[in-house]
Amino acid sequence: MTSPVLPVVTIEVSKFYAPWCGHCKKLEPIWNEVGLEMKSIGSPVKVGKMDATSYSSIASEFGVRGYPTIKLLKGDLAYNYRGPRTKDDIIEFAHRVSGALIRPLPSQQMFEHMQKRHRVFFVYIGGESPLKEKYIDAASELIVYTYFFSASEEVVPEYVTLKEMPAVLVFKDETYFVYDEYEDGDLSSWINRERFQNYLAMDGFLLYELGDTGKLVALAVIDEKNTSVEHARLKSIIQEVARDYRDLFHRDFQFGHMDGNDYINTLLMDELTVPTVVVLNTSNQQYFLLDRQIKNVEDMVQFINNILDGTVEAQGGDSILQRLKRIVFDAKSTIVSIFKSSPLMGCFLFGLPLGVISIMCYGIYTADTDGGYIEERYEVSKSENENQEQIGESKEQQEPSSGESVVPTVQEPKDVLEKKKD
């Protein structure tokens, strides 16, 4: 009796690109390195790419809306990649998604190995249960971001304390947090919030990703090239709050620092003085500025508590007025950046249309002026011709017939003429 042949699942990580896309051209050498690395380690994941402009129907079928788009195709499923576009991050994404959805941890040694290898990962502990079904559903949605494991209670490290079973835990920042359905709500939402380390070096991409968590982001905005004490001090204060008060604030706050204020200035539509501390709500573009001088950790904790109890007023937001201000600010920033990066290009882009419009306006104005002048000259000429004709007729009437002497006509006074009529 022959054993049944299992279907082979084809796994491929593909890049959808457009030939004219600058970001696609920048990704090309990295993508080639990904292909060589995956081939050298004998990975079952194939690496490919597709010109989405030539095969637009296929790209549309996979929901490609921008370039480049990276997707891992696993059987009938397609997983979007939304991480940093580096070789290591893309390869890790391919390995994570191409493997088992939930990976078992059969021993403490394996558990310890995963702790050393991954900065953040989730573990389901227990047997079959409704919670496990929810865990599987969440993993199928969020496997693109993080790792999911399962283990028995005997495998869990001794320092882990569980009040009840089954349970879902997240391990990060050299500690762990246990999911509480009553305090944390939906399991999938909780996993999405907790998939980041508590303190991060921020950039624009991370801030965008944090917008889905619903957490406020407390940032030390500094210049890492500046060696002054104040820059290092503010960064250290945020790190201490993230470490020492994580049990108190980890459900509501994400902590980190950002090098430079360019991105923050764009969000705030204002010039932020560096170094400083700002708290962002990236889900609705609100922000909180300092209401006090941050001298120590206690001042920062008080500032956070004031935000939570509503004492500090939120600024910004996504109201209609703020959206209009955003449009004006973005237009102004674009124009300024063009002139800063390439003055000649700026003069060409904005000077040429203005020049054409000026010439058109001048042409319209001069055309109206010339038309009025010609019409006026025509009316004057017509009046002169009529006068000439009247003078000619008057002369003809005054000329005597042949043989008659020419007697000058003397105009009689008005009263004499009236008497003659009588």
3-state secondary structure string, the chain? CCCCCCCCCCEEEEEEECCCCHHHHHHHHHHHHHHHHHHHCCCCCEEEEEECCCCHHHHHHCCCCCCCEEEEEECCEEEECCCCCCHHHHHHHHHHHHCCCCEECCCHHHHHHHHHHCCEEEEEECCCCHHHHHHHHHHHHHCCCCEEEEECCCCCCCCCCCCCCCEEEEEECCEEEECCHHHHCCHHHHHHHHCCCCEEECCHHHHHHHCCCCCEEEEEEECCCCCCHHHHHHHHHHHHHHHHCHHHHCCCEEEEEEECCHHHHHHHCCCCCCCEEEEEECCCCEEEECCCCCCCHHHHHHHHHHHHCCCCCCEECCCHHHHHHHHHHHHHHHHHHHHHHCHHHHHHHHHHHHHHHHHHHHHHHHHHHHHHHHHHHHHHHHHHHHHHHHHHHHHHHHCCCCCCCCCCCCCCCHHHHHHHHC
**Residue (of 190, 93, 187) closest to 143 by Cα position:** 93
Over residues 114-143, the mean pLDDT reads 94
Q: How confident is the model at residue 132 (pLDDT cuts 50, 70, 90)?
A: very high
Instruction: Outline which parts of the chain fall under CATH 3.40.30.10.
Output: 9-83, 100-195, 197-318
Lowest mean pLDDT among 17-21, 177-181, 360-364: 360-364
Over residues 264-293, the mean pLDDT reads 86
Supply the pLDDT for residue 62. 85
Q: Which overall architecture, per CATH, does domain 9-83 show?
A: 3-Layer(aba) Sandwich (3.40)
**Residue (of 208, 211, 235) closest to 221 by Cα position:** 235
Supply the pLDDT for residue 5. 40
For residue range 98-118, what is the model confidence (pLDDT) as tens digits? 889 999 999 999 999 999 999
Query: Does 361 qualify as catalytic in the annotation?
Result: no
Q: How confident is the model at residue 66 (pLDDT cuts 50, 70, 90)?
A: confident
What's the distance, Cα to Cα, between the start and end of the chain in Å?
150
Query: Does 347 qualify as catalytic in the annotation?
Result: no
Does residue 273 have a pLDDT over 90? Answer: no
Of 21, 110, 142, 297, which one is the catalytic site residue? 21
Lowest mean pLDDT among 123-132, 183-192, 281-290, 324-333: 324-333
Over residues 329-337, the mean pLDDT reads 69
Supply the pLDDT for residue 402. 45
Are the C-beta atoms of residues 58 and 48 closer than 8 Å to each other? Answer: no
Q: How confident is the model at residue 283 (pLDDT cuts 50, 70, 90)?
A: confident
Lowest mean pLDDT among 134-138, 263-267, 418-422: 418-422
Does residue 257 have a pLDDT over 90? Answer: yes
348 vs 238, residue with greater confidence: 238
Q: How confident is the model at residue 76 (pLDDT cuts 50, 70, 90)?
A: confident
Supply the pLDDT for residue 348. 66
Supply the pLDDT for residue 4. 44
Q: Which overall architecture, per CATH, does domain 100-195 show?
A: 3-Layer(aba) Sandwich (3.40)
CATH superfamily of 197-318: Glutaredoxin (3.40.30.10)
Given the structure tokens 């005054």, which residue do they identify? Answer: 398
Over residues 397-415, the mean pLDDT reads 48
Does residue 418 have a pLDDT over 60? Answer: no
Share of the chain above pLDDT 70, in %: 79
Of 13, 24, 70, 300, which one is the catalytic site residue? 24
Backbone angles phi and psi of 190, in degrees to 5: -65, -45
Does residue 280 have a pLDDT over 90? Answer: yes
Token reading at 418: 């009236």
Share of the chain above pLDDT 90, in %: 43
For residue range 338-350, what is the model confidence (pLDDT) as tens digits? 666 667 766 766 6
Does residue 249 have a pLDDT over 70? Answer: yes
Are the C-beta atoms of residues 218 and 277 closer than 8 Å to each other? Answer: yes
Supply the pLDDT for residue 10. 67
